[in-house]
Structure 1
Amino acid sequence: MAVTEPAPAADQNPYSGPYPDPHSAWSPPAEQWAPPVPPPWRPTAAERLRAAAVGALNLSGLGLGYVMARRWVAAGVCWVATGILLLVALPARPEGVPGGVVAAYLVFLVIVAVHGAVRALRTPVPWPRQTWVAAALALVLLAVPAGGAVLYDDARSNAVQTMLLGRLKQADDLVATARAQSFDNARPTYGAALTGYRDLLTDHRGSRAGKLVPDRLAAFYQTVAAPFTDGRFCEAVTPLAYLRTVPDTIPARELGSLATWPDDRLATSLLRCGTPAFEAADGSPGATSYFKQLITTFPSSAQAAQVPAAAAAAVDGTAAGLTGPDPCGATAKLRKLVTQISNLTAAPWNQAADQTTALKKDSDTATHDVESGTFACGKNQYAKGDFDAAGKTMQSFVTDYPKNPDNALAGKYVIAAQIAQKEPAAGKQPPTLATGGSVTITITNDSPVAVDILYTGSATGKVHVDACTSSCVAYRTTQEAKAISCADASIDYPHASVTVPPGTVYILEDNFSSSNPPKVITEQATPDETHDFCAYQIDPLSPFTHVPPPPVAG
């Protein structure tokens, strides 16, 4: 049987109970009623996974999280930002992307990832339906920026290698340019090339270009030292000396054996170039500068040990010319060699003792040869008729070498040259040391001054006659002197005699007045004649004349 609740009474409120009547104007006080508070919203695991997937997809830089959520404007912003990055980054350059650009892009990726994830928490995505598929796709697509970074880094490394190879080529081109120039002009260019090689070697040793630098340096040394290879030793000195300064630019430890590579070649060049310069003895700076540099820079080298021998060869070769057609030139050259050798031995350089001793011996030899050469030079000048030069040369020989065996003969040449300057015929035959003979020549002085009479020809010598102090005075005229000179029986005239072999004799007074020089008297000395001469003075003049012998009584 069905049981029903009884209907409410007419005066009973049908909505009576715990809740008020909604149609009633009455409502309970606020403190007595409030709407129910819904429970707090918490994302489900699927929603969190969906948000993470969208954020991760946006991290790819392609805006794929926005594409999944059909937010095309936001996706477009991602594409524009990524496009700008690609425009800045590509093609890859050695310096890479500016740090500010990279930082700004990373901040942008973080922002769009967070923004996309927050939006995806409450908004379902139309595709893919399964949230785990979106998450897996996001993880896969994260490899896109990572792979792009790797590929970009590889492209940037290739760009760096290409740039460094370009720098290597620039240095090589500088060397090629310098090769065609003189070394003085090319020196700055070589320096720039060295700087390029140094930077590659020290800053980029592991690069492809850096690994090629050692071979380039070896070629650089060969290029700079080309004059030595070609046998142009004088021209090679400066370039080789320059190569010894390369360690100032590139550390010696980086150069290895190249650091000392120029030493032996420079020493050889200094010897080979210095030898002919030394032998030339032309007074130029190069005459001794090469040997000086050799002895100073490489004192213990085999080349420095050859310097004394080279000097000795120069002395011997020059001395051989003393018997040739130009002994005067050979003598002058020997004098310069003496000076050059003295310069080498006198300088306070670091030389071995045996080198110094050998060089001093060379100097002594050259000095002795100068002594012999001076006499040979005077004879040669006399034979050529240059009596003035011959007289001066022989006079210097007499003065400088008093102990030389040829000193006496040199004095004869001085006398003969003085007479020959007045009478060239007197120099047709050279003087000798011959003395004495069968012909007597007497010189009487009828002047108040002493006289020195020079003679040459069949014999050469000098006669001194004292002044006449017994009433001897100068004559007024030559005619008067010729008539009565040396004829006063009351006067004891000073006189001197000399004996000579028969032949032509040339006589000259030595101490004559410069304003009235006497002439040379030519006399044929014969044994059967008397050869008397009287010296007299006419005012300031001092001529002398032959006094005829008195007539023989019949």
Structure 2
Amino acid sequence: MAGSSSRGAAAALLNASGLGAGYLYLRLWGRAVGSWLVTALLVLAALGLHASGTPWFWITLFALWLAHQVYSGWKHGSAGPPGRRAPWLPLTAGAALLALVIAGAVQYRGGPQDALERGDTAHAAGDCATAVEHYDAATATRNELTFSPALDRAADGRAGCRIVLTAEAAAGEADYPGAINGYGDYLARYDGTPPWPGAEDRLAGLHLDQADSLAADGTVEAAYAAYAAIPAGFPGSAPAAAVPDRLDALYEARTTALAAGDHCPAVDELRPFLELAGEHRDDPLAEDLAGRARDALPDALYACGMDDYRDEHYTDARTTLEEFRSLYPDDARSGQVDDTLIAIEIAQIGSGSTGDLPDPTPAGSAPGGTATVEIVNDSPEALEILYTGTETGTETGTGTVDACGGCTTQSDLLSGWSGSACQAGIDRPTTTIRLPAGTYEFVVRTPGDSSVTPFHGTWELSSGTAYSDCYFIETSYY
């Protein structure tokens, strides 16, 4: 009886290895094969159904199967006749086999944890390429039977690292919005405290890279907005500290015409910087750039208008100088601007369809070095006189000759003394212009009636001479 008991104990101990060795000891070949098949099916099912995700279910299932094998080995071993060998020999073999299985299981179960720790170390250093290799090793299907939580933790770490690797691939292709979104997802995945502590600094660096890209190829507004977002979103970071210098570089890079003295392109360069103050109110960085542009704009506008005038680009010159006069009415150059606008007006009229203004008629003397020009209006329309030459200006108010209330339209265009027009005995409106002697371009026109052809001419005004002419309007029938 004792022999049978020791035989049952030996079979149970051998079956405790889970290898069916107790059945082999008892020479129960069918039961040995059957135990192997069931064990194989359980192993395949565990591997295929992610046993590490529900470890207690599978541990219970394997424990029940192992308990069944132990009980079955004891039962069949105890029922048979005592063995002929010394009873301690199979017991020792069973204990040794069980010890080997346990040792192997302990080592096997520690494999995923070791790989996880190596992956986490690489992850924390920002080396996600290496980390993923270790996470893959930890989550290999062969490790499912460890029932270790390390597999799920490794899978989570791998998912986070893959987000980082995808973001870095986007950054490598200069897809900065994609990279920034990727790192945003990575940080959100870990509620702002990811395994890699440097992720937030890397995100700030990507924002700086994006801003640099926009500074090179985008609009001033887009580049500025990208730069301004860095100190707001990442205060105290190295990229945030770099923003002021980057904005200085942006201004320098986008105002090369200003630096080169190319005035008209410089005006266009400055406008986007002027708009920053309106787009980003109460932002000192925007105000600083806008202030620099405001300081540079008056000189650029003035010089651009004068350049266009000298190059006979009169329409552009007028637009620019009128903007200057509107923005800077108290500028010391405003008088010169007014004179130039008159010269532009005269030049534009002179280059169009005009009548020929005859030479002025000497009518007496004037103080030495000067000449006076009297304009008498014999028309029902007010007249405007513009002139440019040694002195440039236009009559405003007193320079406009009022309409003649008792006068009528004649039968010719603007002209001098002719026919019944400008006869004596009628009190007509007049104005007198006093000028230094010299050569002048004159225009006489009716500002209230655009259908009347303006007259243009170049006059040589002699020193000490007074000139007087009467002008009327006459309808043309040809």
Q: TM-score, normalised by structure 1?
A: 0.61
Q: Is this contact kept in 2: 1:440–1:497, CA < 8 A? A: yes
Judging changes above 3 Å, is the alpha-carbon distance between structure 1 residues 465 and 198 closer, same or farther for their aligned structure 2 residues?
Answer: farther
Q: What is the CA deviation profile of residues 141-163 of structure 1, one whole-angstrom value per residue up to 9, with x for unaligned ones?
A: 43265246326525743775799
1:247 Cα deviation from its structure 2 partner: 3.6
Q: Is this contact kept in 1: 2:385–2:394, CA < 8 A? A: yes
Using the TM superposition, name which of 88-97 and 379-388 deviates more.
Answer: 88-97
Q: What is the CA deviation profile of residues 210-233 of structure 1, one whole-angstrom value per residue up to 9, with x for unaligned ones?
A: 7xx89x97x9979966999x9x9x
Q: Measure, in 1, the Cα distance between the counterparts of 2:233 and 2:297.
A: 31
Q: Measure, in 1, the Cα distance between the counterparts of 2:183 and 2:51.
A: 34
Q: What is the CA deviation profile of residues 381-409 of structure 1, one whole-angstrom value per residue up to 9, with x for unaligned ones?
A: 11111112212222232233211111111
1:324 Cα deviation from its structure 2 partner: 5.0
Q: What is the CA deviation profile of residues 170-192 of structure 1, one whole-angstrom value per residue up to 9, with x for unaligned ones?
A: x9xx9779xxxxxxxxxxxx9x9
Letter matched to residue 248 of structure 1: A
Match 1:157 to one of 96, 99, 109 = 109
Q: Measure, in 2, the Cα distance between the counterparts of 1:417 and 1:193.
A: 76
Match 2:381 to one of 449, 452, 458 = 449
Judging changes above 3 Å, is the alpha-carbon distance between structure 1 residues 378 and 157 closer, same or farther for their aligned structure 2 residues?
Answer: same
Letter matched to residue 276 of structure 2: Q
| Residue 369, structure 1, aligned to residue 296, structure 2 | yes
Q: Secondary structure at the match of 2:408?
A: coil
1:267 Cα deviation from its structure 2 partner: 7.2
1:460 Cα deviation from its structure 2 partner: 2.2
1:490 Cα deviation from its structure 2 partner: 0.9
Q: Is this contact kept in 2: 1:241–1:262, CA < 8 A? A: no
Name the structure 1 match of 2:318: 391
Match 2:231 to one of 270, 273, 295 = 295
Judging changes above 3 Å, is the alpha-carbon distance between structure 1 residues 440 and 485 closer, same or farther for their aligned structure 2 residues?
Answer: farther
Name the structure 1 match of 2:390: 458
Q: Secondary structure at the match of 2:87?
A: helix
- What is the percent sequence identity of the aligned residues? 18
| Residue 49, structure 1, aligned to residue 2, structure 2 | yes
Q: Measure, in 2, the Cα distance between the counterparts of 1:534 and 1:398.
A: 34
Q: Secondary structure at the match of 1:483?
A: coil
Q: Measure, in 1, the Cα distance between the counterparts of 2:137 and 2:460.
A: 91
Name the structure 2 match of 1:246: 186
Q: Is this contact kept in 1: 2:255–2:269, CA < 8 A? A: no
Judging changes above 3 Å, is the alpha-carbon distance between structure 1 residues 510 and 316 closer, same or farther for their aligned structure 2 residues?
Answer: farther
> Which residues of 2 match residues 208-223 of structure 1 at below 5 A?
none
Letter matched to residue 420 of structure 1: A
Match 2:422 to one of 487, 492, 508 = 487
Q: Measure, in 1, the Cα distance between the counterparts of 2:90 and 2:191.
A: 54
Q: Measure, in 1, the Cα distance between the counterparts of 2:181 and 2:269.
A: 30
Letter matched to residue 106 of structure 1: A
Q: Secondary structure at the match of 2:385?
A: strand
Q: Secondary structure at the match of 1:346?
A: coil
| Residue 538, structure 1, aligned to residue 470, structure 2 | no
Q: Is this contact kept in 1: 2:417–2:469, CA < 8 A? A: no
Q: Is this contact kept in 1: 2:446–2:452, CA < 8 A? A: no
> Which residues of 2 match residues 104-503 of structure 1 at below 5 A?
104=65, 106-111=67-72, 113-117=74-78, 119-120=79-80, 128=84, 134-143=86-95, 146-147=98-99, 149-150=101-102, 153=105, 156-157=108-109, 239=179, 242-243=182-183, 246-250=186-190, 255=195, 257-262=197-202, 265-266=205-206, 269=209, 276=215, 283=219, 285-300=221-236, 304=240, 307=243, 311=247, 321-322=257-258, 326-347=262-283, 356=284, 360=287, 362-424=289-351, 438-463=370-395, 464-469=399-404, 471-478=406-413, 483-484=418-419, 487-500=422-435, 501-503=437-439
Q: Measure, in 1, the Cα distance between the counterparts of 2:30 and 2:449.
A: 124
1:204 Cα deviation from its structure 2 partner: 7.2
Q: Is this contact kept in 2: 1:85–1:101, CA < 8 A? A: no
Q: Is this contact kept in 2: 1:271–1:304, CA < 8 A? A: no
Letter matched to residue 490 of structure 1: G
Judging changes above 3 Å, is the alpha-carbon distance between structure 1 residues 199 and 143 closer, same or farther for their aligned structure 2 residues?
Answer: closer
Using the TM superposition, name which of 134-143 and 238-247 deviates more.
Answer: 238-247
Judging changes above 3 Å, is the alpha-carbon distance between structure 1 residues 50 and 244 closer, same or farther for their aligned structure 2 residues?
Answer: same
Q: What is the CA deviation profile of residues 485-508 of structure 1, one whole-angstrom value per residue up to 9, with x for unaligned ones?
A: 653211022111213331242323
Q: Is this contact kept in 1: 2:370–2:465, CA < 8 A? A: no
Q: Measure, in 1, the Cα distance between the counterparts of 2:68 and 2:94.
A: 16
Q: Secondary structure at the match of 1:491?
A: coil
Name the structure 2 match of 1:431: none
Name the structure 1 match of 2:11: 58
Q: Is this contact kept in 1: 2:187–2:200, CA < 8 A? A: no
Using the TM superposition, name which of 379-388 and 464-473 deviates more.
Answer: 464-473
1:474 Cα deviation from its structure 2 partner: 1.0
Q: Is this contact kept in 1: 2:411–2:474, CA < 8 A? A: yes
Using the TM superposition, name which of 474-483 and 407-416 deviates more.
Answer: 474-483
Structure 1 alignment gaps of length 5 or more: 1-47, 178-189, 348-355, 426-435, 542-554
Q: Secondary structure at the match of 1:255?
A: coil
Judging changes above 3 Å, is the alpha-carbon distance between structure 1 residues 83 and 504 closer, same or farther for their aligned structure 2 residues?
Answer: closer
| Number of aligned residue pairs | 430
Letter matched to residue 139 of structure 1: L
Name the structure 2 match of 1:103: 64
Letter matched to residue 448 of structure 1: P
Letter matched to residue 423 of structure 1: G
1:447 Cα deviation from its structure 2 partner: 0.9
Match 2:29 to one of 64, 76, 85 = 76
Q: Secondary structure at the match of 2:427?
A: coil
1:537 Cα deviation from its structure 2 partner: 1.9
Q: Secondary structure at the match of 2:442?
A: strand
Q: Measure, in 2, the Cα distance between the counterparts of 1:521 and 1:481.
A: 13
Q: What is the CA deviation profile of residues 309-360 of structure 1, one whole-angstrom value per residue up to 9, with x for unaligned ones?
A: 665676678778458563122112222212124544535xxxxxxxx3x764
Q: Measure, in 1, the Cα distance between the counterparts of 2:461 and 2:236.
A: 70
Judging changes above 3 Å, is the alpha-carbon distance between structure 1 residues 422 and 235 closer, same or farther for their aligned structure 2 residues?
Answer: same
Letter matched to residue 332 of structure 2: P
Structure 2 alignment gaps of length 5 or more: 53-57, 141-146, 353-367
